[in-house]
């Protein structure tokens, strides 16, 4: 089916079921998250599975469900894009068909268990790679992972290019939220022909947590809607930006000039500390003193000080969230 026709069909389906959310349609396929009632979302899955275009492609396991609803999104956005997920690389140049080896949650769990055991003895030839953005891995990640300090997935190819030596002759275990970014990311990594093997978690963290809620993934799972995160265990691995108390509930920076996420606890919020950095905090105070309904998006101290593409020197920085 032509992407434009598929987009129109998808939009009509979601509107009919009163679903909200974001859906991307591309030549590679379809990817998105929608919210609504249990009846509506169940019907959505049923209709998607019955669509002839997806016969022998989609299956029940490809859908992930979590607590939420239509209120988690401000509206419905369905569009046609060049990429199913924005990596910034033409799908014709690096195809998802050249992806890494898919591992089920059970297989991935065993691999991570073995990796952690070998890593404690300093014998591992494996890298457990989180290919999400820094603010996602900040509130939740697999123990012992390498989490690139990148702000957008479109920076991932440059990160790989700048750190090829890091991946040379390594076994790489990749993961992301639902598995889609790994489809593109693992294909890009494999195209560099430096890794010994590249594996990816099928269904992503979401499917892993369904089977191992108290496994090797600790903290919250970041999601791109008004919930910001979903919980599977009680661990809090991040802290308030201002006082350092354990805290993992994101809010948008209070400055109308910024759209960065900030971790600020209730106590600090009550003190008026609601911006992502001192620059934005100062702007917020100035803006509050004069009437202005204009909303702008601009770089602030957070983004100016962050290297666009971090280069790992020596041994990679691993994130650890060991359990008691």
Catalytic residues, by residue number, are 176
Q: How far apart, in Å, do the first and last CA atoms of the chain sit?
A: 52
Nearest CA-CA partner of 129 in 84, 104, 162, 160: 160
Task: List phi, psi (to 5°) of 317.
Answer: -75, 115
CA 160 to chain centre: 17
Cross-strand bridge partners of residue 175: 130
Cross-strand bridge partners of residue 22: 33, 77
How many other CB atoms are there within 10 angstroms of residue 275's CB atom? 28
Helix axes 3-16, 38-50, angle to 10 degrees: 150
Q: 225-260 as b/e, with b when 16 or more CB fall inside 10 Å?
A: bebbbbbbbebbbbebbbeeeebbebeebbbbbbeb
């Amino acid at each position: 089916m032509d992407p434009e026709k598929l987009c129109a069909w998808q939009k009509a389906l979601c509107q009919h079921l009163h679903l909200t959310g974001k859906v991307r349609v591309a030549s590679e396929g379809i990817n998105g998250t929608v919210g609504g009632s249990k009846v509506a979302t169940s019907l959505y899955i049923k209709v998607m599975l019955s669509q002839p275009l997806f016969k022998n492609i989609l299956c029940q396991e490809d859908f992930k469900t979590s607590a939420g609803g239509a209120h988690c999104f401000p509206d419905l956005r369905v569009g046609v894009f060049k990429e199913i997920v924005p990596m910034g690389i033409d799908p014709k140049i690096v195809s998802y068909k050249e992806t890494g080896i898919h591992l089920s949650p059970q297989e991935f769990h065993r691999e991570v268990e073995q990796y952690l055991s070998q890593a404690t003895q300093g014998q591992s030839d494996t890298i457990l790679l989180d290919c999400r953005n820094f603010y996602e891995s900040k509130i939740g990640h697999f123990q012992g992972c390498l989490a690139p300090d990148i702000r957008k997935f479109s920076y991932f190819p440059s990160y790989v290019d700048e750190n090829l030596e890091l991946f040379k002759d390594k076994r790489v275990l990749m993961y992301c939220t639902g598995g889609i970014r790994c489809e593109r990311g693992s294909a890009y990594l494999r195209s560099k022909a430096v890794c010994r093997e590249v594996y990816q978690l099928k269904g992503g963290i979401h499917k892993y947590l369904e089977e191992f809620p108290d496994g090797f993934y600790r903290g919250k799972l970041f999601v791109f809607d008004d919930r910001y995160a979903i919980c599977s265990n009680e661990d809090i691995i991040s802290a308030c930006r201002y006082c350092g108390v354990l805290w993992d509930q994101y809010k948008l920076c209070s400055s109308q000039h910024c759209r960065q996420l900030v971790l600020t606890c209730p106590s600090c919020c009550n003190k008026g500390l609601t911006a992502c950095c001192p620059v934005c905090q100062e702007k917020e105070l100035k803006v509050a003193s004069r009437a202005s309904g204009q909303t702008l998006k601009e770089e602030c101290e957070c983004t100016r000080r962050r290297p666009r593409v971090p280069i790992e020197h020596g041994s990679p920085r691993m994130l650890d969230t060991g359990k008691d």
